[in-house]
Every structure is written in C-alpha cells, then in structure tokens.
Chain A
Amino acid sequence: MMLEVNGLEAFYGEQQALFGIGFGLDEGRVRTLLGANGAGKTTVLRALCGMIRTGGDIRFEGKCIAGWATEDIVRLGVAHVPDGRGTFLRVTVEENLQLGAITRRDRVGIAADIEQIYHHFPRLKERRTQQAGLLSGGEQQMLAVGRALMLRPRLMLLDEPSFGLAPLIVEELFAILRQVNRDTGVAMLIVEQNAALALELAEHAYLLETGRIVMDGPSEAIGADEGVRRAYLGY
C-alpha cells in the first residue's frame, strides 16, 4: 500500500482531535473522507502532512513519516491542497505555479508542466501575470490544484475542493481531477462536505465522526446506506 495509517491520533494543544484512525490508500486510487463539520476530516489531512502534533503510525511508500517536518513530507511527493487554498496572494498566478515546483530542478519539465496546467485551466493562463489575490474563489481553487500538480505528486490531499464554488465550476474542477488521476496515476485523498460528488470520484469512502472512523466501504455501498444518505447526502 502507498499510504498506511494506523492508530492515528492528533492534538491541538492539549485537545485531542483524532482517536485511533486507521486507513490506507493504494497507488493511483482515489478515496474520500466524509463527515460533518468538526468530525476531524481536515485534521486527518493536516496530521498526514505533519502540520500538527500526532501519535500513531503513518507510512508513505514504506517510510514511517510520523513526526517528520511538513516540507520533508512534501518533498516525498505529497501535495496538500489546504482548506482556504493556501494561495500566495501577493505574487502572480504564474509565480504561484512556480512555487509549486520549487523543489524541482528540471527547468524544461517545469515549463512544460505550467503549460499543461494552463491547458487544464485556460482561465489561469489569461491571468498569469495578475496578482493571485485578485482571482475569484473558483480561479483560486484551480490555482491551488494547479500548484499542487506542479510538484508532480505521488499523492494529493484535497481539502474541500468544492468549498464556496458555483456548481458548474465544481463540476469542471472534479472532471479535471478525474482526468489528472487517470492521466498521471496520482493517488488522491479527498475531504468533502459535498458527499455525493466525492462518492462519484472516489472508489472507497470513510465516514468520520468526532475523530473516529465509524464506517467505511466502497463508495456505492456508502452512498446507498440509509443513514449516510439522510445525514450527508440530504435525500
């Protein structure tokens, strides 16, 4: 398995937020973490990237990365698209993309990848010389995904990519995520409030409640579950 998590705990100060989470992700696969506000979805992603204090075991491609510095985990090929999108607001769109590839040395490859991102998101190309802070929410989300792809990641962690976006833009974004997954074989772990959308993209889902995984299974099974449907899908 590419990513293996066992007994994961996480803490904000003295406050424990995750209680013994276990899950895994195979190369090239897409899985999703569902749950209500405050269930701990974002915390799981932050814990995987070493952004908060954790306990338990995190293995990425055989390496035990628990306790590593964030930048060292990123350098293994883990790209995190954080909630709030993590845009560098005061630099240009293109500089944001270059920052995504800041750990790479292959100038030619970087230039080619920037063109590839512009191919996926033509609107970013139109705005390449603008300050990123001037972009709309949807454009910033595309930029965040683009910036993450510039790492040529092995694993992408996406935190609520649909948050605050118009439905049409969300569909466009998820179509591109699916295509990127197919084309590059990057594995994805997606945290979403929009459960229907996430279940469509992912093949396997975990349901989080107050820092614990309470249910998991193939997306169809989770989507068909009466309780899940009522609580998270709204029909």
Chain B
Amino acid sequence: MQLLLQQVMAGLANGAIYAGMALAVVMIFLAIDHLNFAQGEMATFSAYVAWQLLAWGTPYWVAFVVVVIVSFIGGVAIERILFKPLHHASIFANLVAFFALFSILNSADGYLWDYTIKTFPSPFGTKPLFGSVLIDAHEAGMIVVTAVLLGLLYLFFRGTRLGLAMRAAAANPESARLVGIRVGWMTALGWGIAAAIGAVAGMLIAPVVFLDPNMMFGVLLYGFAGAVLGGLTSPGGAVLGGFAVGIIENLAGTFIPYFGRDLKLTIALLVIVAVLMVRPAGIFGRSVVSRV
C-alpha cells in the first residue's frame, strides 16, 4: 500500500511536468493546428539559460523569473520570425520548420554548453518532505509550482479580457478578426506563454533527469501522450492527461514485473494508441468537423 502511494505521488510529480508540456503543446495546437515537436527543445534551451545564470551566481528564484520572461519573449520571437510566414504554407512546410527549430536548439545547447551531462540544483532540496516517506521536497515542489502556474493560467484565460480574446482567436479566427482582435498577435502570445510554461517544466525536471541537450526528448513524448489522452483541443484535458500519464508510467514501472521499468515509455505510447482507437479526439477533446 505504501509502495502504491509512493509511486502515485512520484507519478503526480512527474505528471506535473508532463501536464505542463501537454498544456504548452495544446496551446500552440489550438492556435495554429500543428504539434510543436520542438517544444521540448525550447524547454531544454530555457533550462540551459537558467543553468548559466545560476553558474554566474544568480539567486535561484531571480534566475527562475528571468528565464520565464526570456523564454516568453523567445517564444513570441520564434512565432513572428519562423512560423508567421508559414501561416498559409502546407503542413509539410510547417513540419520541416518544427524539425529545423528542434535541430537548431538542440545543436545550440551542445555548442554553447557542450554535451556532458550537468547537474541542476533544486530550490527545494531532495530531503523527504517533513520526514515523510511518501514524497521528497523536490517532488512536492514540482507539484506545487505547476499547480500555481496552472491556477494563474486559468485565471488569465477565464478572468481577463486578453485571455478571452486569445480564446476567441483560437476558437474562431475569422469572427475574432471581425470584432477587431489581432489574431496574429494572439498566436504569438500563445507561443510566448507555451515557451514560458515549457521553461518552468524544464527547470523543474532538470534536477531529476539531469541537464543534457536531449533531456526533454522522453518528457515531451509523455507530454504528447498526456495531450492526446486528454484531447488536443482541451487545455484542461491535456493537464489531466499529463498527470494520468505520469501515474500510469510510475505504476507500470513498479508493478509490471520483468520489463515494466524498461518499457515505461513504450507503455505510455501504448496508452496513446489505445485511446486513439477508442476515442480519436481524446477523452475531453472535441472532434473537429471542417467544411471542405
């Protein structure tokens, strides 16, 4: 029983990161109808910037805030420079752009900070939380920081005019233009927020998986799994999906004998396939009907 609870808590901690990545992916998907394969590399790059700031002696939370802001600006810039011109281009042109972004960021990480694996500090430490055997301080910190982030995003999208405008632009761009919303800038803003979410996820997972240029590769796959599980058109669903994948992954790794631990990723991908077979739009997603 204790092992089960332990694994569920660890799953929630990892799930928080997957939820963040899933949400970032869904935000961009809602705005431009494409999956951002480079979301993980963007997060890794942000984590490297944080590592550099920390190496220069910046206090952790100052570095944290600076990196979130820089990542936001970087996300906006990527949309304006790379993806805005591809707005009407084919899906293949967009795919190539995503892979280009992926390679550029991945190589930049290696070039600037070399490929050796680096440790990344946790602001919470790794001692057991209040002497509990269930969860350590960093795991608890991952859950809390993600929860705060998700809460802030919820308030932003539900409670502010800008959030409302962003939702309208994503749901119905033509009508949004007809009320004067600058849809292109809403898309750029979505990229900025997605990049900022990714930065938080990257900084939180780096102490666990260690910093290297391919750090987020597996994490993003779990994030995709979460997003697909919850529904690519449902931000709330993607978050729940991310947490669910985190728990499934941990339980499978622990309780499936012999190959469970080695095939955690496989099991996560099997979940995607299984869900897609039963509910192609995901658990909370809507199937999109388009007029042709």
Contact = CB atoms under 8 A, between A and B. Distances in A.
Nearest to B177: A70
B168 A74 contact: no
Contact of B180 (A87, A89, A91, A151): A151
Interface stretch (A94-102, A160-168, A194-202): A94-102
Contacts, number: 61
A74 B174 CA distance: 12
A74 B165 CA distance: 15
Contacts of B172: 86, 88-89
Given A71-B183, A86-B172, A88-B168, A80 B178 contact: yes
B34 interface: no
Contact of B168 (A75, A79, A99, A103): A99
B167 A91 contact: yes
A86 B174 contact: yes
Interface SS of A by simple majority: loop
Interface residues of A, number: 24
Contacts of B167: 90-91
Contacts of B164: 91, 95, 98-99, 102
A113 B223 CA distance: 44
A151 B181 CA distance: 12
Given A88-B168, A91-B164, A91-B167, A102 B181 contact: yes
Interface string B134-170: 0000000000000000000000000001001101100
Nearest to B182: A71
A50 B28 CA distance: 26
Interface in B217-249: none
B9 to A, nearest CB: 35
Contacts of A88: 168, 171-172, 175
A82 B180 contact: no
Contact of B175 (A75, A87, A103, A151): A87
Contacts of A71: 177, 180-183
Contacts of A103: 179-181
B180 A102 contact: yes
Residue with the highest number of chain A CB atoms closer than 10 Å, among B175, B179, B181: B179
Nearest to A150: B179
Interface in A71-129: 71, 74-75, 79-80, 82, 86-91, 95, 98-100, 102-103
Interface of A: 49, 51, 69-71, 74-75, 79-80, 82, 86-91, 95, 98-100, 102-103, 147, 151
Query: What are the 7 A-B residue pairs with the smallest beta carbon separation, nearest first?
Result: A86-B175, A103-B180, A74-B180, A70-B177, A75-B180, A71-B177, A80-B178
